[in-house]
Amino acid sequence: MDQVDVIVIGAGVVGLAAACRLAQRWPEKSILLLEKNRTFGLEMSARTSEVIHSGLYYPPGSFKARLCVSGKEKLYDFCTSWQVPYQRLGKLVIARNDEEAAKLDQLQEQALANGIADVTKLEPVAVARLEPNISCQAALFSPSSGIVDTRTLLARLEQVGRKYGAMPVYQQTVTGIARMTGGYCVTYTDASGRSDEVGCRCIVNAAGLGADAVAAMAGIAVDQAGYRIYRCKGEYFSVANEKAGLVSHLIFPASIRELKGSGIPVIKDMGGRLRLGPDAHYAANGLTDYRISPANARQFLAVVGSYLPFLEEDDLSADIAALRCRLLVACGSPPRDFVICHETERDLPGFVNLIGIESPGLTCCLSIADLAGDMLTPLLDG
């Protein structure tokens, strides 16, 4: 049986970042990246808002807050170093009513607690100077929020990883993980159903929507551990080109649907497109259904029309849908934190689980990768 030092499972943005950073840190170690699809980045990472978040939405001390704040700067640096198109566009978090206005104060305090000092409160006149075509009562301005060309980012992470010796292999689905002396035996199966095995010292589980299934392969009782993933669908509608220029920044209502609120984000991409979304509703588990009903445009307009008054139903067309890898939360609670865990307490030394890496996972990818590397340092340096 062939033997490598580390196997990273899943070539989305998190697995690519993990393979890349591990290879940069330990160029002498063998890092194998196993991906079930024909190439990298065809699942969650291909269906994001492409926003580099500042980190103001997440509870202080959480992985999401800490890794977003550090990950944002690491991502901007990576994009600059490796010619990935990005823009520090800035985000307006808007209040549409008194309840949301009170939320702005909480968010500004939370931003400060998370170490984001550049968020400022804007009165309507100042908002109108930045965004004359939107309607709101007040806003926070977050200048460090931005957008990135995700396709190029994924390609660069793969290229840089290869340059430092990481070995991505596609169309290989991990189907079994067994403990063996000094590490693990990983079984993988190709598209024709042929299986093979490889031994490794360490595993990084970055399998996105399949991360709970991979954890189960290692013998973890996922329900007991709180690792079960629920698919939460989000849809996007794009705005007609002639109206895309009427908005210049990212516009996020203070209370957004993804966090159990009522607003829908307004996002721009590197091509200048304006899109609305994602909304949020749970999908039947195990199903991958990316269909969008054009009739949902009316529901989007009912929400977004209150802050983008220039929009009409004919301006909207169905764009993409995506599935979030959500961990179970009590009804009405905000999404859970990421699971980033070196499973030593489950007697799985060298096995790092990255589970429930939903938004802001794109922003955090390099920080998550570095943290996984820190967790594996005693084994890889030893």
Ligand X SMILES: Cc1cc2nc3c(=O)[nH]c(=O)nc-3n(C[C@H](O)[C@H](O)[C@H](O)COP(=O)(O)OP(=O)(O)OC[C@H]3O[C@@H](n4cnc5c(N)ncnc54)[C@H](O)[C@@H]3O)c2cc1C
Binding residue for ligand X, selected from 108, 353, 359, 367, defined by CB under 6 A: 359
By CB under 6 A, is residue 137 in contact with ligand X?
no
Tokens of 292: 């969008």
Binding residue for ligand X, selected from 360, 372, 375, 380, defined by CB under 6 A: 360
By CB under 6 A, is residue 296 in contact with ligand X?
no
By CB under 6 A, is residue 363 in contact with ligand X?
yes
Per-residue x/- mask for ligand X, residues 61 to 90, rule CB under 6 A?
------------------------------
Of residues 250 through 289, those in contact with ligand X by CB under 6 A are: 278
CB 99 within 8 A of CB 162: no
By CB under 6 A, is residue 142 in contact with ligand X?
no
By CB under 6 A, is residue 168 in contact with ligand X?
no
Kindly tell me which of 175 and 248 has the beta carbon lying closer to ligand X: 175
Q: How far is the CB of 130 from ligand X (least distance, A)?
A: 21
Residue span binding ligand X (CB under 6 A) among the ranges 10-18, 79-87, 91-99, 307-315: 10-18
Q: How far is the CB of 128 from ligand X (least distance, A)?
A: 26
Which amino acid makes up residue 334?
Answer: P
Q: How far is the CB of 13 from ligand X (least distance, A)?
A: 5
Of residues 216 through 255, those in contact with ligand X by CB under 6 A are: 234
By CB under 6 A, is residue 13 in contact with ligand X?
yes
By CB under 6 A, is residue 174 in contact with ligand X?
yes
By CB under 6 A, is residue 14 in contact with ligand X?
yes
Q: How far is the CB of 173 from ligand X (least distance, A)?
A: 4
Distances in Å between the Cα of 7 and the Cα atoms of 68, 154, 174, 188, 382 are: 25, 19, 10, 11, 18
Tokens of 218: 């290692």
**Interface residue list for ligand X (CB under 6 A):** 9-15, 34-37, 42-45, 47-51, 53, 173-174, 206-210, 214, 234, 278, 322, 324, 357-363
